Structure 1
Amino acid sequence: MDQFHLHLVSDSTGETLQSMTKAALVQFEGISPVEHVWTLTRTVRQLDDILDSIIKRPGLVLYTLVNKEMREVLELGCQRVGVPCVSVLDPVLTAFSSFLGQEIRRLPGRQHMLDKNYFGRIEALNFTMAHDDGQMAEDLYEAQIVLVGVSRTSKTPTSFYLAHRGYKTANIPIVPEIKLPESLFNLSRKTMVIGLTTSPDRLSQIRKNRLLSLNQRVDTDYVDRDRIKEEVIFARKLCTREGWPVIDVSRRSVEETAAQIMTLYNRRKEENKDRMR
């Protein structure tokens, strides 16, 4: 079965459900489900419409509904037509409930409440937008993470991914002929500078594709492999000299790169705490 209908039913935005589904599907070869995403499902009337669609397009049903009545309506409806129906959060919630000795509160969408963490993410996004591509370098000390690297090493998308996770992130391009801001070399241990790099061949192709998408010439130093190799070596030597860790993004997605950055940053944070004790 390489194609099937997949119904994702959520009482919130559906982000959690879609992320878990994506993580599970990558473990199976040649599978391309037809997804039907149902978000903000909070009334039985909405469920009736969803069940009608499930009957017409039977397949696997995954849900994140916390209201007991809503869960029962969906599960019974799926049972009647012989469709598998799975609550993906139940094992996790049960484990937390048992460990913490507390009842599950069953509040839909609670993870999206306007709490301190939410406003922290908004602040991080605003900071990152203002400090993209070397802008406003005079207040780099406010950043938690600074990414450096030559052009087209995924600095911007990685910065915004980190910002979405609540990390104030700035990024600065390394160009051999252009002097880097002095503020970059005067940061405290609270700010972590990390270099991003990739292979010259891959970088040349990425830059060439970029110029082609903009209908610009590709016979320039910007895509010349020897020139790029010099840039990459220059950037690596700089990071080594300054003691900045370097991550090769050649075979990594933005999410994987960001995960390693967060690990490095949080490890540094713990080390700083230990020093203060």
Structure 2
Amino acid sequence: MRERLAIYCNVHLVSDATGETLAGVMRATCAQFDNILPVEHSYFLVRSARQLERVIKEIEEAPGIVMFTLSNLEHRALLEDACKAMDMPCVAVLDPVLDITSRYLGQELNHRVGAARKLNAEYFKRIDALDFAMYHDDGQQHIELSEADVILVGVSRTSKTPTSVYLAHRGVKAANVPMVPGVPLPPELFAKDRPLVVGLLISADRLIHIRRNRLVAMKETRAGSYTDEEDVRREVMDAQKLFEREGWPTVDVSRRSIEETAAAVLNLLAEHREP
């Protein structure tokens, strides 16, 4: 059977803010199509007609799909008219959601540029959570583990750090503690008043594959017990036994993305917080 060739597609992302929403929507959309490789053209913090004119010129030179989030009505009209003249598909990705919300609430939109990035208590909460995640990464400052919202525990290469950082962006203070053979875990993990502890599980075969790839990337030739099949399987089994003995909820990260792992942890945290 012949392998299907990849299809390249220009995607222009135009935003008057940081463009994070657009990037997320674009990648989620393209993931639903096989063999589609988007060529991303990003134009962020576009807040003047002159900037927009330069954007339109680049769109004309590389035809493709145009996705935008622009609050200024004149700029929206300018971009939409230009795309219509070029027969270019153009979509305001938030319009359907904003329209439904506006009608449900019975309120008009404020059309403030960058309103989603307004500095408020929630913003500073996320910054604090990110600082906490960095300060308590990989078992550091375990005396302060009681201040965490959640503690992730797992053997090496179970995505503890990136999951902690992702949770921090959701305003969750996440610490992570590695399970290292022969090294005792901090006693704070077993205190009665400890925060929620979540064990990160992974299949031995998947873990061996990840660790070997990491060593190759680091051009490291000495592997030892880090990738030895028997040792790795023992590590995984010991972790599972510990989680079961302590009654800690677990998340299997073997085939999960960071986002999926974080979502599962957030669900466990919501259950934990219920009275």
Pairwise TM-score range, normalised by the shorter structure: over 0.9
Match status 1:203 vs 2:178: no
Per-residue deviation, 1:245: 0.9
Q: Distance in 2 between matches of 1:213 and 1:34?
A: 26
| SS in structure 2 of the partner of residue 8 of structure 1 | strand
Q: Distance in 1 between matches of 2:173 and 2:204?
A: 29
| SS in structure 1 of the partner of residue 37 of structure 2 | coil
Q: Distance in 2 between matches of 1:255 and 1:217?
A: 32
Which residues of structure 2 form unaligned runs of 5+?
1-5
Match status 1:229 vs 2:233: yes
**Which letter maps to 2:227?**
V
Given that 1:141 and 1:187 are in contact with CA atoms closer than 8 Å, whether structure 2 keeps it comes out as no
Listed one character per residue, the Cα deviations across residues 107-134 of structure 1 (whole Å, up to 9, x for unaligned) are 1111112111111111011111111111
1:182 matched residue in structure 2? 187
Q: Distance in 2 between matches of 1:214 and 1:86?
A: 43
Match status 1:37 vs 2:42: yes
Given that 1:196 and 1:249 are in contact with CA atoms closer than 8 Å, whether structure 2 keeps it comes out as yes
Listed one character per residue, the Cα deviations across residues 188-229 of structure 1 (whole Å, up to 9, x for unaligned) are 37x211001111122122222223333333441121111111
Match status 1:123 vs 2:128: yes
Select between 224-233 and 206-215 the one with higher mean Cα deviation.
206-215
User: Aligned in 2, Cα 1:219/1:123: closer, same or farther, shift over 3 Å?
Assistant: closer
- Which residue of 91, 96, 99 corresponds with 1:94? 99
| SS in structure 1 of the partner of residue 180 of structure 2 | coil
Q: Distance in 2 between matches of 1:202 and 1:56?
A: 44
2:21 matched residue in structure 1? 16
1:76 matched residue in structure 2? 81
Given that 1:6 and 1:34 are in contact with CA atoms closer than 8 Å, whether structure 2 keeps it comes out as yes
**Which letter maps to 1:181?**
P
Match status 1:255 vs 2:262: no
Q: Distance in 1 between matches of 2:247 and 2:89?
A: 53
Listed one character per residue, the Cα deviations across residues 40-69 of structure 1 (whole Å, up to 9, x for unaligned) are 111111111111112222221111011111
Per-residue deviation, 1:187: 4.9
The normalised TM-score by structure 2 is 0.94
Q: Distance in 1 between matches of 2:132 and 2:149?
A: 10
| SS in structure 2 of the partner of residue 3 of structure 1 | strand
Per-residue deviation, 1:173: 1.0
Per-residue deviation, 1:176: 4.0
1:266 matched residue in structure 2? 270
Q: Distance in 2 between matches of 1:209 and 1:6?
A: 32
Which residues of structure 1 form unaligned runs of 5+?
273-277
| SS in structure 1 of the partner of residue 176 of structure 2 | strand
The normalised TM-score by structure 1 is 0.93
| SS in structure 2 of the partner of residue 106 of structure 1 | coil
Q: CA RMSD in A?
A: 1.4
Given that 1:134 and 1:172 are in contact with CA atoms closer than 8 Å, whether structure 2 keeps it comes out as yes
User: Aligned in 2, Cα 1:68/1:208: closer, same or farther, shift over 3 Å?
Assistant: same
Matched-pair identity in %: 50
